[in-house]
Structure 1
Amino acid sequence: MTAPKHFMRAAPRTLGMALASSALIGGLLVSASAQADRDGWPSSFTMGTASQGGTYYIYGSGWANLIADELGDISGGGEVTGGPTQNLALVHNGDISFGMATMGPAADAMSGESPLAPGVVMDNACAIFPMYETPFSITALSSSGITSISEIPDGARIGFGPSGSTSDTYFPAILEELGIDFERRNGGWTDLGGQLQDGLLDVIAFAAGIPIPAVSQLEVQTNVNIIEFTEEEQQAAIDAFPVSEFMIPADTYETLEEDARAVSMWNFAIARCDLPEDFVYEVTRITMENNDKMMDVHRSAATTIPENVVHNTVMPFHPGAARWFNENGYEIDDDMIR
């Protein structure tokens, strides 16, 4: 029996409506599933950085903007802080979600030796990904006549960055180890750069990712000397402190004519250990898979790559971060996962 013509015409329309309805339902299910996957995720986050004018602030603020853009419906931003030591405390206490820390202060925090909270083991801070090495470098005005560490005069006024920062924690001790007598000054890098230019400081001892914005700005406005370590000074620092040898590439600053010898300490991004695993997995994935975008944030992100995950030997990794590294062939031992 042949079907009526009106039925044959109606069938394609009915099928189309069914398909459209099916697609709509499927889309709603996918949307609901995606939403469910983000249950417990924060609606916003903060990355603890350091003072304005330093690499931490530029790197951390740019990173937070990148993560927020990629996630789409979560806002994020950088926050001015006192640097790694304070970031570790803020993350541990749950005041901020993420922070930036060098491995020296991280080791102190893990062992309850943070100067901000002596005796408190900061075990709610976990590593998530490698950032870059922090070189320890010294800058003076060319007019000062200081061209080497040994030429720094007794009683020199030296700016060491914000109080409690990596620079302020380790650089004074390094210079004391090298026999330098000085007056200790603290402040943000931009402010210290202005004080150096105004003759209120003799030297600035920077521990920050390169190029340091404050040094680049000084180069534009006046003549400076970027002072390198001798081989003997470098080795003395390595023997006494958790630092390694480093060469500042000549193309980092206009002032440098050749690579400058220094020492350095690795930086890692950190997170609250109780953040959702899937959230931290996504944050790690976005960072590790978008190095070109990270390089747009700051040149120091050239080393923000998975291979450098091996440089953290003191902090446990967040499970979400560890999952991404292990899935992608960068093995993290179980005893290094929170």
Structure 2
Amino acid sequence: MSQNIRVLITAATLSATVLSSNAIASDRADWPQNFTVGTASQGGTYFAYGSGWANYMSENLGISGGAEITGGPVQNMALVHTGDLGFGLTTMGPASEALEGKSPLAPGMKLDNVCAMFPMYQTPFSVTVLTNSGITRIADIPEGARIGFGPAGSTSDTYFPRMMDALGVQYERRNGSWADLGGQLQDGLIDVVAFAAGIPIPAVSQLEVQSDIRIIEFNEDEVTRITAEFPVAPFTIPANTYSSLNADSQAVSMWNFAVAGCDMPEELVYEMTRLTLENNDKMVSIHKAATTSVAENYVHNTVIPWHPGAARWFNENGYTIDVSQIK
């Protein structure tokens, strides 16, 4: 090869590299220097999933990212809407109420600067007691029982008390992080923990190592009554989820989605969606609940408008999101 040809090839390569670098810089020109995702309390699935996801995004996108402990889905909708957080995790029930202006944190205000990114998993609603409590079914919960419903404003705290009311359970309401409530159950300070989180719930896994617990299922009549009144669907907790289960346990569940502020850069959200949905093995290594963090489950979002960046990834990969569904 002659020296002149080598020079031309080198020049062309350098030119292409410069053009590529300029294109990448241009694509990232409006990216934030860092980002934060709103999760929930420690000891719950949101915090484990959100923290791991933020680290994964940060490592692959070259920007600093982390998770923030919050009150959960209700507060996350508000924080993302106001721009205090760029990203958050939420469930369909609280999301629907927030978009309609029915959030308990901002009554009358439509929290609509929130857009969907990708499906996460279903949140089962389940009841846990100490084995020596004598409680084997929901109907056994005594009048005035102290029930921990999770952090104030969380999905569990928003919906589980209403479910208990519908089933005729009379209780004293307690709030706290899942880890704290697990400790209170062990110490006899509360009688029941009404969990709503992706499985396996870290606090339950920790609790069953330290105490003899029983996970109470909903019977068929209770499932029928609850699904008719609330935005939940029947769900089965597999027996292998916890060592305390000897058989599959019947519950109800609500879908979770990751969300972003609608004004977050399209290219950033596109890349985050791509990394999440094209690398499910990595997501499952973060938390087992991510086995359902797959593109096909996008159909379970019937409430939140899609972010343009996320919608672009879905439409490029054989899934249809109509323009009317994009913010």
State the TM-score, normalized to the length of structure 2. 0.98
Q: Does 1:103 align with 2:80?
A: no
Matched to 1:47, the amino acid is V
- Residue from 10, 15, 23 that aligns with 1:33: 23
> Matches of 2:18 and 2:164 in 1, distance apart?
63
Partner of 1:160: 149
Correspondence for 2:46 = 56
Distance 1:215 1:61 in 2: 19
Q: Does 1:198 align with 2:187?
A: yes
Give the deviation of 1:14 after TM superposition.
4.1
2:215 corresponds to 1:226: yes
Map 1:133-212 → 2, pairs under 5 A: 133-212=122-201
2:265 is aligned to: 276
Q: Report the counterpart of residue 19 of structure 1 in structure 2.
A: 9
Counterpart-to-counterpart distance in 2, 1:26 and 1:305: 35
Deviation at 1:32, TM superposition (A): 1.4
Matching of residues 259-274 of structure 1 within 5 Å: 259-274=248-263
Corresponding position of 1:92: 81
User: How far 1:335 sits from its partner (Å)?
Assistant: 1.9
Distance 1:165 1:264 in 2: 14
Distance apart, 1:225 and its partner CA: 0.3
* Inter-partner Cα distance in structure 2 for 1:147 and 1:335: 48
- The code of the aligned residue for 2:56 comes to L
1:155-197 deviations in Å (ceiling 9; x for gaps)? 0000000000000000001011000000000000000000000
Amino acid at match of 1:95: D
C-alpha separation in 2, matches of 1:304 and 1:26: 37
Which residue in 2 is equivalent to 1:68? 58
Q: Which has the larger radius of gyration?
A: 1
Say which SS state the counterpart of residue 2 (structure 2) adopts. Answer: helix
Q: 1:291 aligned to 2:293?
A: no
Tell me the amino acid that sits aligned with residue 296 of structure 1: S
Matches of 1:329 and 1:28 in 2, distance apart? 33
Q: Structure 2: how far apart are the matches of 1:272 and 1:49?
A: 15
Tell me the secondary structure at the aligned position of residue 175 of structure 1: helix
1:215, distance to aligned residue in structure 2 (A): 0.5
Q: Give the Cα–Cα distance (whole angstroms) in 1 for the partners of residues 174 and 160 of structure 2.
A: 12
**Other structure's SS at 1:313 match:** coil
1:233-256: CA deviations, max 9, x gaps? 111111111111001000000010
TM-align CA RMSD: 1.0
Question: Is structure 2 residue 12 aligned with structure 1 residue 42?
Answer: no
Following TM superposition, by how much is the alpha carbon of 1:43 offset from its aligned partner in structure 2, in angstroms?
A: 1.4
**Greater shift after overlay, 30-39 or 52-61?**
30-39
- Select between 248-257 and 37-46 the one with higher mean Cα deviation: 37-46
| Cα distance per residue 1:1-20 (max 9 Å; x no partner) | xxxxxxxxxx9334433432
Q: How many residues align?
A: 327
Which letter maps to 1:27?
T
Separation in structure 1 between the aligned mates of residue 308 and residue 17 of structure 2, nearest angstrom: 31
Superposed counterparts of 1:248-267, under 5 Å:
248-267=237-256
1:213 is aligned to 2:202? yes
Measure, in 1, the Cα distance between the counterparts of 2:238 and 2:324: 36
Point out where structure 1 has 5 or more consecutive residues left out of the alignment: 1-10
Matched to 1:132, the amino acid is: Y
Cα shift readout 1:51-109 (whole Å, capped 9, x = no counterpart): 000000000110111111121x2111111000000000000000011000000000000
2:297 match: 308
**Distance between the aligned counterparts of 1:215 and 1:183, measured in 2?**
21
1:154 maps to amino acid: E
CA distance in 1, matches of 2:166, 2:140: 15
The alignment's TM-score, normalised by the length of structure 1, stands at 0.95
